[in-house]
């Protein structure tokens, strides 16, 4: 989509079409001849994996919508009808339900790869921002999709998440209530809510597909980042996308499918919750409301803050921070391979996020480190809430303190001259003398 096109129409029809709508040229330039750094590792295969995840979700979702009934009285049974009576309905539904988990697993790896290798830095800020928008749309879609089977956890989830907005009553009295009433389409979560969630759950994936188009467009303007973070300097640094990366991505996608299929066929409800097999009943609240695993870190942040409005802001802020990363990290070295200090803080960030996920699945008052017990024999000590507070603080500190401060103070290790250098010299052990990076200057 940018740079010099090498496409040469070969047949008469291709020449005719190319003069009128150069669609084959665009496809050729972006998926066949596209020059791609030759040192991309397997972490880079998750972009292709995510594209396949999105297509899988849309195809299975459209088929499910042919059988699903978005009505409070019929939704639960219509899902079971799909499981029992529709030909291969069980497979389509399990692919769709587990596909959401696989989609989020892949997107978290994709985001972590971008954070580690500095893929958000100039000139890829817009590419990164578009990715953040996709992630937000995914979260909205995933949440509304989980509501549709209209089980107990679907219903409780819808109540909890929509009620978050009532926190805005603390800003302007009545504002939060007005927002929640508007979201619900009534005065409680009910049939109107289910219907609009279904409409939006069907709409948003196509918006995601649109933003994915922009994301790929932006990728093809700047080209891929790569594990060294060093820009492409010559043709020797790249290979054409096809067949080199079609085959590598293809292999990775099929390996990913093996994991995916294991969940679909042998543990289809391992990631679900038994309470969601009980039809929604507004009069009975589940003993322990938990979101799907991919929201647990944010759920833990929400509960870690005692004040509701600030809890909500903390949770949304954690995603908001991602949008600001390109301007928080000013280090000119992209890849953390050459940032010996930053990489350890990054490892801690991953551990903190996983820890928050664990906290989100526990009860807030559960004791992590036991120091004593009450008269009833219940343990007392360091609770999940406090662990979540520490981890949330670290999460924020990584973006707001660590990245900005390291940009000034860190001494990076030697960055290779070009992508080909570490390859040809065996992993960058013997770099030419001139390749040593200057200690970083302020600014």
Cα 167–Cα 196–Cα 83 angle in degrees, nearest 5: 115
- Which of 116, 168, 256, 394 forms a contact with another protein (CB under 8 A)? 256
Q: According to the binding rule CB under 8 A, does residue 323 interact with another protein?
A: no
- Residue 383, interface with another protein (CB under 8 A)? no
Using the contact rule CB under 8 A, the part of the chain among 165-173, 180-188, 205-213, 375-383 near another protein is 375-383
| Residue 200 C-beta: closest distance to another protein, Å | 26
Among 74, 247, 369, 401, binds another protein (CB under 8 A): 247
Measured at the alpha carbon of residue 107, what is the angle toward residues 102 and 111, in degrees to the nearest 5? 155
- Answer for which of 366, 381, 405, 436 binds another protein (CB under 8 A) is 366
CB-CB neighbours of 30 under 10 Å: 16
Helix 89-116 and helix 241-266, axial crossing angle in degrees, nearest 10: 130
Contact between 270 and another protein by CB under 8 A: the answer reads: yes
Instruction: Compute the least distance from the CB of residue 390 to another protein, in Å.
Output: 19
Name the one range near another protein by CB under 8 A: 11-19, 89-97, 217-225, 317-325.
89-97
Instruction: State which residue, 101 or 392, has the beta carbon closest to another protein.
Output: 101
Among 12, 174, 234, 266, binds another protein (CB under 8 A): 266
Verify cis geometry, omega within 30 degrees of 0, for the bond prior to 243: yes
Query: Which of 319, 424, 430, 436 is close enough to bind another protein by CB under 8 A?
Result: 424
Instruction: Tell me the window of 24-32, 190-198, 267-275, 303-311 that interacts with another protein (CB under 8 A).
Output: 267-275
Closest approach, Cβ 365 to another protein, in A, equals 9
- Both tokens of 217, joined, read 């467009």
Take residue 360 and report the two structure tokens written for it: 């989100």
CB count within 10 Å of CB 174 equals 9
382 in contact with another protein (CB under 8 A) = no
Nearby residues of 50 by Cβ (< 8 Å), 6 or more positions away: 103, 106, 107, 110
Q: Does 354 bind another protein (CB under 8 A)?
A: yes
Rounded least distance, CB 74 to another protein, Å: 12
Nearer to another protein, 242 or 414 (CB): 242
Query: Which stretch, 15-23, 64-72, 215-223, 251-259, contacts another protein (CB under 8 A)?
Result: 251-259
Positions touching another protein (CB under 8 A) are 38-39, 41-43, 45, 77, 80, 83-84, 90-91, 94, 101, 105, 109, 227, 239, 243-244, 247-248, 250-252, 254-259, 261-275, 277-278, 287-288, 290, 293, 296, 354, 357-358, 360-363, 366, 373, 375-377, 420, 423-424
């Amino acid at each position: 989509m940018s740079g010099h096109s090498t496409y040469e129409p070969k047949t008469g029809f291709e020449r005719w079409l190319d003069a009128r709508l150069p669609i084959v040229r665009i496809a050729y330039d972006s998926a066949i001849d596209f020059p791609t750094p030759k040192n991309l590792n397997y972490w880079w295969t998750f972009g292709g994996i995510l594209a396949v995840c999105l297509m899988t979700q849309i195809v299975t979702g459209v088929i499910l919508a042919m059988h699903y009934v978005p009505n409070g009285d019929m939704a639960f049974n219509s899902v079971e009808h799909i499981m029992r009576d529709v030909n291969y309905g069980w497979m389509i539904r399990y692919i769709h339900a587990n596909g959401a988990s696989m989609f989020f697993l892949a997107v978290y790896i994709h985001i972590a790869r971008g954070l580690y290798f500095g893929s958000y830095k100039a000139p890829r800020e817009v590419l990164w921002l578009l990715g953040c928008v996709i992630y937000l749309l995914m979260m909205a879609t995933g949440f509304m999709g989980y509501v549709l089977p209209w089980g107990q956890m679907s219903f409780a989830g819808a109540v909890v998440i929509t009620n978050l907005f009532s926190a805005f009553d603390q800003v302007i009295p009545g504002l939060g209530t007005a927002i929640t009433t508007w979201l619900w389409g009534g005065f409680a979560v009910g049939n109107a809510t289910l219907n609009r969630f279904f409409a939006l759950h069907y709409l948003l994936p196509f918006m995601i597909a649109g933003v994915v188009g922009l994301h790929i467009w932006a990728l093809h303007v700047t080209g891929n980042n790569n594990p060294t973070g060093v820009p492409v300097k010559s043709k020797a640094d790249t290979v054409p996308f096809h067949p080199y990366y079609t085959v590598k991505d293809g292999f990775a996608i099929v390996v990913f499918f093996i994991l995916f299929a294991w969940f679909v066929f042998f543990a289809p409800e391992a990631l679900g919750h038994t309470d969601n097999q009980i039809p929604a009943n507004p009069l009975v609240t589940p003993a322990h409301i938990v979101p799907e695993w991919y929201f647990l870190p944010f759920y833990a942040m929400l509960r870690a803050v005692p004040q509701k409005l600030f809890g909500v802001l903390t949770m949304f802020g954690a995603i908001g921070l991602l949008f600001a990363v390109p301007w928080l990290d000013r280090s000119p070295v992209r890849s953390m391979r050459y940032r010996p200090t930053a990489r350890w803080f990054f490892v801690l960030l991953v551990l903190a996020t996983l820890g928050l996920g664990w906290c989100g699945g526990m009860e807030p008052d559960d004791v992590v480190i036991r120091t004593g017990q009450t008269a009833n024999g219940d343990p007392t000590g360091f609770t999940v809430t406090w662990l979540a507070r520490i981890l949330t603080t670290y999460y924020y500190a990584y973006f707001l303190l660590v990245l900005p401060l390291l940009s000034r103070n860190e001494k990076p290790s030697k960055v290779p001259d070009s992508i080909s250098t570490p390859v040809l010299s065996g992993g960058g052990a013997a770099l030419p003398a001139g390749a040593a990076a200057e200690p970083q200057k302020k600014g």
